[in-house]
Chain A
Amino acid sequence: MSQLSLTDRDREAMLAAVGVSSVEELFKDIPERVRFDRQLDLEPALSEPELVAHLAELAARNVDTGKELSFLGAGMYDHYVPAVVDAVLSRGEFLTAYTPYQPELSQGILQAIFEYQTAICELTGMDVSNASGYDGATVAADACFVAKHATSGSKIVLCEAVNPQVRQVVKTYAPGFELEVVEVPHRDGVTDPGEVAAASRDAAAVIFQQPNFLGCLEPAPELAAAANEAGALPVAHVDPLSLGVLEAPGNYGCALAIGEGQGAGNSISYGGPHYGFIAARSDLIRRMPGRIVGETTDVDGERGYVLTLQTREQHIRREKATSNITTNQTLLALGGLVYLCWLGPQGLREIGETCLSLAAYAKERLGLPPAFERPTFKEFAVRLDRPAREVIARAREVGVHPGYALGRDYEGMDDALLVCVTEKRTPAEIDRLAEVLAA
């Protein structure tokens, strides 16, 4: 077995040192009746070449973005992942380390997390970020737990134009937090601040998304103000790649900024693993979930980094911890850091502008009635003359995935198609989409 390093001679010498005559004897503390008395019913072992061939065969049966011209987004985005990200993440030291409990051996990953926290704070305009959450949905549940303890509110106001994946996860978690979830419908593609204000009485938090799931730009500053006025924490779920052109949540009064990091530096990978980010105002630092890295010095005054404020965490505070999270998504967050550094402020702005301009071009070329008359970013919804599912099926037959059927999540929208245009799409590809949809 290639993963095991003992020779037969090693085994004998080791068994003798332990004072047992067989490996079987090592398991004598396991009661007879709970011992497994047969071989595991698993398929035969594969050699490395056979394994690669088997997985390549499975992979080949998937239609990935390289095989289909894809305008499918809906929260997972086909943005370009630069080669430097792969190069950094394949470094064995990063790949095979664990949580940096021993700072003297882990200054590299600790500093990287500190830099990630800084980059997320800069991006979102917030004061403090943790080392990452599981994904863009679970960080919303984390935000609810923060809000439950930071306010006296008993419910969460959830805007209907938030990604349904996120909303479903919040609803799964909320009962355990003893929080009620109240949804505020969208009005013609965006959320009405007046309705949010009315719903926010006794709320712990208001969660909205910018740009929202329907592709529209929300009146985010007004939504945040409505929440603040009611004493609820405004939580903005944001697309990191929009933040070169769209205002940062910290600059319009949000208490928390959360989001899915995938588009910024991670491959789509059929939904994961990616990283979720959660950043907050400084007064919420002791309510934050998960790992946080802080700066300090050693005896010689040398700068160094450690996991800090650990009394928030499960291993010290146990049942009173701010979260149960231990393993997070550090490697993927590191990918995010490398990506944001690769972009730089100029690149971030350019990518936002390219998305804006290509999406505008697409709206015009498609010539279909918009589902909502609103400003958008990289996604927009159009109305079709048939159910979107049919149109998608037809287009896929000719190698084009035209987008997401909003009827999957919103009643009365079976004819609405959500089209996503990232910087990887070209005007010629958009022309092709227009041609296919017109057919």
Chain B
Amino acid sequence: MAAESYPDDLRYNEEHDWARIADGEATLGITWHAQDALGELVHYEPPEEGAAIQKGVSYGEAESVKAVSDLIAPLSGEVVDVNGKVVEAPEIVNEDPYGEGWLIRIRLSEPAEVDSLMDVEAYKKLVAEK
């Protein structure tokens, strides 16, 4: 299991999802805090490539043995890539939530939505309040 960390180049939502934004695209995943609360992941139910996902709405599910968590899209867009490695071995998310454990990549349909997401300081504050 990875050590607690929150990279400062990412943006976050209140549901503990992160987004790495570059060139009109975003890579999405769940934070260290989210994977820690869930425990070891045993299943990842991804969206289909090409699907349109909407900010604030569930695009998939992550499951441990004891809980199921909806994956809440921090941003809207079209799914351009699904991390097949995580589908095969979901525990990768526990080991490396911000690297190998990314979940999907989307092409942003509403790039302005980025402004509504938290930066790392705001997110750290949210986690500290938990």
Contact = CB atoms under 8 A, between A and B. Distances in A.
Indicate yes or no for A touching B, C-beta below 8 A.
Answer: yes
B65 A310 contact: yes
Contacts of A317: 68
B68 A316 contact: yes
B67 interface: yes
A282 interface: no
User: Secondary structure at chain A's binding surface: helix, strand, loop or mixed?
Assistant: helix
B66 interface: yes
Interface residues on B, range: under 10
Most buried by B among A286, A311, A316: A311
A64 to B, nearest CB: 47
B63 interface: yes
A285 to B, nearest CB: 10
Interface string A267-291: 0000000000000000000100000
Interface string A309-340: 01100001100100000000000000000000
A286 B64 CA distance: 13
B70 to A, nearest CB: 9
Contacts of B20: none
Interface in A190-226: none
A297 B45 CA distance: 26
A294 to B, nearest CB: 11
B72 to A, nearest CB: 14
A317 to B, nearest CB: 6
Interface string B25-55: 0000000000000000001010000000000
A298 to B, nearest CB: 15
B68 A286 contact: no
Contacts of B45: 286
Contacts of A320: 68
A292 to B, nearest CB: 13
Contacts of B66: 310-311, 316
A147 to B, nearest CB: 17
Contacts of B64: 311
A174 B68 CA distance: 26
A320 B65 CA distance: 16
A231 to B, nearest CB: 15
A309 to B, nearest CB: 8
A310 B43 CA distance: 12
B67 A316 contact: yes
Contacts of A310: 65-66
Given A311-B66, A316-B68, 10 more contacts: A286-B43, A308-B65, A310-B65, A310-B66, A311-B65, A311-B67, A311-B68, A316-B66, A316-B67, A320-B68
17 contacts: A286-B43, A286-B45, A308-B65, A310-B65, A310-B66, A311-B43, A311-B63, A311-B64, A311-B65, A311-B66, A311-B67, A311-B68, A316-B66, A316-B67, A316-B68, A317-B68, A320-B68
